[in-house]
Amino acid sequence: MATDLSLESMKQFVADHLDDFVNRRNAAVIHRNMTPDFLDHDGPGGRLADLLDDEKQMLGMYEALPDLRVSVVDLLAEDDKVMCRNIWRWTDRDTGAPMSMQGFVLWRFEGRRIAERWATLAAPGADLGWARP
């Protein structure tokens, strides 16, 4: 099923979802924003996940990272998909050091909800196994 949302409406939907789900700590919003058969291709532990898995992970993150915030840097939309570049920030509980990771997430819509998610996330400066010349 396609979506009847405009490209701008889809981008706003994704931005609002991230603000509610992460910054406002409303994990239950996932039930309103995702289709019942939502599939996260890059869920917790890098495995396929459904909305309950993602909700459970987010609840754990609220507990472990009390000051967790996400900032949306860029949003691009085409057809039934939105690509989001974002930065996640928090404070390490043990050291007090500021921490961050950034990533790209692709969201696919069905109707007026999100049906699928793909994500690539990496901590800035993380050793990704590349050899530097």
Q: What is the pLDDT of residues 93-126, one digit of tens each?
A: 888 889 999 999 999 999 999 999 999 987 655 5
Q: What is the mean pLDDT of residues 59-69?
A: 94
Domain 7-122 listed as CATH 3.40.50.720: no
With tokens 């994990």, the residue in question is 27
Residue range 74-88, pLDDT digits in tens = 999 999 999 999 999
Q: Which of the 8 DSSP states describes residue 23?
A: I
Residue range 3-55, pLDDT digits in tens = 999 999 999 999 999 999 999 999 999 999 999 999 999 998 889 999 999 99
Please count the other Cβ atoms lying within 10 Å of the Cβ belonging to residue 126: 9
Q: CB-based burial of residue 9 (10 Å sphere; 0-12 exposed, 13-18 middle, 19+ buried)?
A: middle
Q: Are 105 and 119 in contact (CB under 8 A)?
A: yes
pLDDT at position 57 = 94
pLDDT at position 122 = 79
The pTM of this model reads 0.90
